[in-house]
Every structure is written in C-alpha cells, then in structure tokens.
Amino acid sequence: MVRWCLWMGMIMLTTAASATAGDEITPHVVLGIHGGIGEDKKDMTPELEVKVRAVLNAALKAGKAKLDAGGSSLDAVEAAIRIMEDDPVLNAGKGAVFTHEGRNELDASIMDGKSKKAGAVASVTIVKNPISAARAVMEKSKHVMLIGNGAEIFATKQGLDIVDPSYFWTEHQWQAIQKIWQQEAEQKKKQKDQSAVDPQELPPLAKPHYGTVGAVAVDAAGNLAAGTSTGGMTNKMHGRLGDSPIIGAGTYADNDAAAISCTGHGEFFIRYSVSHEIVAQMKYKKASLQEAAEDVINRQLKAVNGEGAAIVLDKSGQFTTSRNSEGLYRGWITADGKIQVRIYDQ
C-alpha cells in the first residue's frame, strides 16, 4: 500500500510538472511585459528573433526609466506599451493585423490597482497609440470604454497623436491576410465545383495570428498597474473585439492580489474572465500567483483548447508567466535594472 501511494504521488508530481508551461517566480521585478504568443518555433527566423528581443528590451528600459524618475506604475505600463505599439514587428499599433475587410482595428485597456479605475478603447483606426487613449478615457472621462468613432473623436479632443489609417499598414501583415483571402477563395471554388464535398476534407485555413502586447508594473508606493494593446485576430470580422480591451478578461490590476495582462484566443479569455479569475483565486483561495495562473491557463483554458498566456506581478515584486502555447514573447526587469527576455522556453 505504501509503495502504491508513493508511485501515485510520483505520477501526480510528474503530471503537474509536465502541465506547467510558465516561468519560475522571479522576485524584485518592477516591470514585466509580453509581446504576444508570437510565431510558432518552426516559423521563427534569426532576423525576427533579433527584432523581437530588441523591442522587448527597449520597452523594458522605457518603462523602468519612468519608475526611476519617480513615475507611477501607470506611467511605466503606458511607456512600455507605447514602445511596442510603435514597432511593426508586434501585433499592436503599427504592426496590427488586418480584418477580413482589409482594415486595421485596434484595441487597448489599462487599469490602476489602487483605485480600480480603468480605461479602454476598441476598434480605433486612427489613434497612433491606443494605450494612451485608454488611459485618457480612465483619467479624463466618466466612462471605462469608448469604441470606434466615439473613441477617435475623444482621443482627438485630448490632443493625442492621430494618424492616417495607412500608417498601420505593414507588408508582412498584408501578406498574411492575402494568404488567408486566397485560401478562402480556393475553398469557395472547391465547394462550388463539388457541392457535395465534406467540409472536413477541405484544407484548413492558415492559423490566425493571436498577437497582443501588454505590461504589468509596481511602483515605489507599492501600487500595481496593468495594460494591454492589440490589433486583434488576423481576418477577424469588422467590429470584433477580443479580450484585450475588456477589464477582467485581458487586463486586471488589484493591489490586494496582482496585475495581469493576457494574450491569446480572446474569445476564451472573455468567456473565462481570465485576468479576474487569477486575481479571485489569489484573494479568496489564497493561491500563489503561480498556482492561480497555472490553474486558469493550463487547466481551465487548456481543457477547452483556449490557447494563450498571462503575465502576473504582485506588489511585492514577485513575477511569473503561464502559457499553454509554444511560445510567449516576454521579458521583465528587476529593481536593480537586470533584464531577462525570453521567447520560447528560454
């Protein structure tokens, strides 16, 4: 009986270890970021890896500079995300993916862990830095979320940077949507030529891109903040929103638990209220940040094939990530300025 219990215990430990796909808890972190789950490892080129690492490093340095100058965690989150929005290599701001109609529709949100105030914008097409628009909604309006033309008019009145929609056009994202359009046309033709064809026999469309960028920070006063920004899902329907602009889904911050930013297949993150669920487990089940993140990402979401990841930071500076995807562009910087950037396992 004792031998059987020991054997079962070993199996349970092995299973738990194999289910874990995140980073160990790192202490003394003041800023953590992610650039989305990114490309599959087989599609990663040396040139792309250099670009990804460069923008993550730049974002961490920009956010840390705000903290070093006495800025708030909100300042650090906004600064880090703006760097990532301005870089075409990531799916936010300049590098946003295209909708089915060939447009770029951007979403972002930000939250203050002390006051629980939050702001978000969605489906904007002319706002250069949606994360700044989200913060403006939080601080300069009585609302939490503004969408579409209303958000754009508000951002313009606030003096934020406004650009022509063509600013967001990038060659690699245009080629990605062109490939999907071609596949869709081929499928329609095949279905028309063979009206009795089984849809299961049709070749699958290219995997949609689930890129997002996000940041979590803690400042000298111990206040947390989180933010997320995205171009959404490649080939999404006009007007589709994922989890990134939704407080409690893609973004959440609570000084009594953690600051969280998510990336992945947004529909699942909305349905499972992922960022708030992680906070709730920490507050009410007394789970550690790693236990809570792993339960939500690698148990709840994985069970329904909801691909994605989360970065988590508490006010003591403990930082971790959890993912059920092959990769996650991520990085963190400690109070003494040490930077760590990872794409896949390392």
Residues known to be catalytic = 212
Determine the angle formed by the axes of helices 130-140 and 148-157, rounding to 10 degrees.
Answer: 80
Give dist(CA 343, CA 35) in Å, integer.
9
User: CA 258, 108, 156 angle in degrees (round to 5)?
Assistant: 135
Q: What's the token pair of residue 134?
A: 């989200």
Residues 260/315, Cβ–Cβ less than 8 Å = no
Coil, strand or helix: which one is 282? helix
Task: Name the pairing type of β-strands 213-218 and 145-147.
Answer: unpaired
Q: What's the token pair of residue 309?
A: 């990841």
Question: Any residues with CB less than 8 A from the CB of 43 and at least 6 apart, and which?
Answer: none
- From the list 179, 170, 208, the residue with the least C-alpha distance to 85 is 170
- Report DSSP letters for 173-191, one per residue: HHHHHHHHHHHHHHHHHHH
- Cβ burial, residue 53 (10 Å; 0-12/13-18/19+): middle
Task: Please count the residues of the chain.
Answer: 346
| Strand ranges, E, within the chain | 22-26, 29-34, 106-112, 118-124, 145-147, 213-218, 224-230, 251-253, 259-264, 308-313, 319-323, 330-334, 339-342
Q: What's the token pair of residue 187?
A: 């499928």
Determine the angle formed by the axes of helices 73-86 and 46-68, rounding to 10 degrees.
Answer: 150
Residue 26 β-bridge partners: 319
Task: Name the pairing type of β-strands 118-124 and 145-147.
Answer: parallel
